Structure 1
């Protein structure tokens, strides 16, 4: 679900993205080559989409922003609101923008997976 501008806290969004990253990585490790059956050259597989998602979409976002946000969070004084503190960060708009961009890419990948696997749509209308 898309976050309304300025709503919620970005930490929760990053935690959700990390959960997707970890879950996908675990599936790839557990099932490995079984997720990329041999077929016609250039065919789309779950593994191909998953590896692309992990390595080119999720990992760069998390590598850049998780430690930066954690460092900012560590500067919060006791008694300060998490929401107010996060909104006071000079990088919060850039992070929110990259999270929104990532969401759009993930929606495109979900559509690719839906089409390639010939399954019911994975998400509702965006």
Structure 2
């Protein structure tokens, strides 16, 4: 990836994080690109297929973003954390204020429901019968929309067209 010339970018962030002005350095550009690719290839921003998609898989995909983001930021080093309006702190805030409330709410509820699945009912059918299925789907769609806003910001930081 060719680094873009450092330019100030004004970005709006999801999850009530407001806006930032960032002048990304090369470390931020590379880390933003890696995060962008990870997001765009996951259920974090892709719609859940109502016929075959499982909420459990969506939840696991979202949860995996925590370890992926940590790994990417650790590998990128302190160059991505040179102030509150730099990529590192923003990525951490997206996890803590955006994804964590959703995963913390739904993981135990879905796990509890999963333990009650009868042997003669497949996982998809059992999940569809859950009383909170529609509510979780609606909240997942909201999180996905906000993660798309985050992905767009990452693409701009990375200099992707």
Deviation at 1:89, TM superposition (A): 0.5
Deviation at 1:106, TM superposition (A): 0.6
2:124 pairs with 1:83:
yes
Any gaps of 5 or more consecutive residues in structure 2? 1-45
Tell me, yes or no, if the aligned pair for 2:48 and 2:54 is still in contact at 8 Å: no
How far apart in 2 are the matches of 1:29 and 1:67?
A: 29
How far apart in 1 are the matches of 2:151 and 2:71?
A: 18
Deviation at 1:27, TM superposition (A): 3.3
User: TM-score normalized by structure 1?
Assistant: 0.79
Higher mean displacement: 19-28 or 47-56:
19-28
User: TM-score normalized by structure 2?
Assistant: 0.64
Q: Which residue of 2 aligns with 1:119?
A: 159
The number of aligned residues is 116
Deviation at 1:30, TM superposition (A): 5.4
What are the Cα deviations for residues 9-28 of structure 1, in whole angstroms up to 9, with x where unaligned? 11111111011122113334
Match of 1:54 among 70, 95, 106: 95
Q: Which residue of 1 aligns with 2:61?
A: 16
What are the Cα deviations for residues 39-87 of structure 1, in whole angstroms up to 9, with x where unaligned? xxx7x42213211211111111110001110000000011211111101
* CA RMSD of superposed structures (Å): 2.1
* Richer in strand (by share): 2
> Equivalent residues in 2 for 1:40-51 (5 A)?
44-51=85-92
Tell me, yes or no, if the aligned pair for 2:98 and 2:143 is still in contact at 8 Å: yes
